Amino acid sequence: MTDVLPSWNEGQAKKAIIDFVASATQPGPGFVEPTDRIATFDYDGTLWCEKPSYVQADFFLRRMREMIEAKPELAKEQPFKAISENDEDFLGHLLEHAAELAKGVTEAYADITTDAFEQAVETFFASATHPTLGVPYTSVGYQPMRELVELLRAHGFTVYVCSGGGRDFVRVVSEQMFGILREHVIGSGTTLEYREGDVYRTKGVEEPFDEHGGKPVHIWTRTGRKPLFAAGNTNGDQAMLEVARFSLLVNHDDGEREFAYTELAENALAEAAKRGWVVVSMKDDWKSVFAEPGL
């Protein structure tokens, strides 16, 4: 028989996934109708590398540096101040400065159409490379997760992204990286407004963020269902994993091939142990990490 997850080592995680897919799709007590087979995947740290910093942070910081160049007085206020002073304490802990950062992020691409924003994202991906791996960001997706997405899809699941990061950012690359169409990308967003025949980004932030309790809320508004299968890697994914029937947590324990960290995942790891979620060890469960040869 063909190995459906060739980049996964034999072990509990691989077995649990294959057993679950079989139980949900074959006649029996676990069977689920195809229309209810919804799988939701966090993006940063679950489908692609999120270290040393979020890909989206690189994108926005570049733009904010341009904004400061064009208008130096911006540097008097956060987050522009930290960016212009290269304040490592601020830039290394972006999530702790989320409120200040949001101001810069929403202003960075305000008052342009959603199409113009996508163009900016495409331009970024065409040239930006990962700072330590030295390859385009579109090459830092996890090969074992790509196989998992394909396995689910081959068994009638509809696979969604459910990202704490920007929905309209991820949409630009999700299809080429994972075959996930733009209508299946759930995520955070700025407020939008219709003007003169087109949709424009405005300076607010859609509530709730697609993080923590916002994830099951977004999944409901977008699909009208709870996820049958969910995968994440941090505390922000915990609520989504709580409402799924099968919950998977990626543990970043491979400092050799990727990055080893449990920061922002402490609660989720504790909860996984308590609730019996499948914890995937990147070190032990994955034969290879990236699709890119040699990475």
Stretch that binds a second copy, among 85-93, 191-199, 254-262, 276-284 (CB under 8 A): 191-199
Asked if 250 and 45 count as a contact pair (C-beta separation under 8 A), the reply is yes
Cα 79 from Cα 109, distance rounded (Å): 15
Distance CA 142, CA 5 (A): 12
Distances (CA, A) of 62 to 107, 172, 221, 287: 13, 18, 33, 34
Interface positions, 51-80, toward a second copy (CB under 8 A):
none
Output 51 or 215, the one with its CB closest to a second copy.
215
Question: According to CB under 8 A, which one of 10, 69, 198, 284 is a site residue for a second copy?
Answer: 198
The answer to whether 224 contacts a second copy (rule: CB under 8 A) is yes
Q: Which of 62, 225, 245, 283 binds a second copy (CB under 8 A)?
A: 225
Per CB under 8 A, 243 contacts a second copy: yes
Q: Which of 28, 29, 134, 197 binds a second copy (CB under 8 A)?
A: 197
239 makes contact with a second copy (CB under 8 A): yes
Specify the 3-state DSSP secondary structure of 192: strand
Q: State yes or no: residue 112 binds a second copy (CB under 8 A).
A: no
If one asks whether residue 185 binds a second copy (CB under 8 A), the answer comes out as yes
Q: How far is Cα 230 from Cα 249, in angstroms, rounded to an integer?
A: 9
The interface with a second copy within residues 25-54 (CB under 8 A) comprises 35
Asked if 162 is part of the footprint of a second copy (rule: CB under 8 A), the reply reads: no
Tokens encoding 206: 């859609």
Question: How far apart, in Å, are the Cα atoms of 13 and each of 71, 102, 258, 280?
Answer: 52, 37, 19, 6
Stretch that binds a second copy, among 24-32, 55-63, 71-79, 193-201 (CB under 8 A): 193-201
Single-letter residue type at 147 = E
